[in-house]
Structure 1
Amino acid sequence: MTALPKTLAAPARRALDRAGLTTLEKLAKLSEPDVAALHGMGPNAMSALKDAMKKHDLKFVQPSS
């Protein structure tokens, strides 16, 4: 399991922790809009998460319509 980036700001880290999203693999089971909607997630945090996921060949699932 791959840890979240250490560069995430505290509000984003708390939001992910509250949601039980403690690894990049867990994030990859959700859609980007779902993660972005968490209270405390901003554009910088989302960018850092996407960059980290890309480095580990992971990506968010496509949102269901």
Structure 2
Amino acid sequence: MPAIRRCTRAMDAAAVGSIVVEVMDAAHELTIHAPAGVVVEFVHCGDRASGAALPHA
């Protein structure tokens, strides 16, 4: 999560996009400040394997 926070701080204010972060549950969500055009979404994997809750592109 620290790396994601560093990346969002380095983004241009005009950046647009989305960031999907997989965490175990809501208790593991941290605030990520991103430019207004960047949506940050958390998905919860619970007991499933890492990557299981992420959308497939």
TM (norm. structure 2) is 0.27
TM (norm. structure 1) is 0.26
Where is the strand percentage greater, Structure 1 or Structure 2?
2
Q: Which has the higher contact order (CA 8 A, sep 6+)?
A: 1
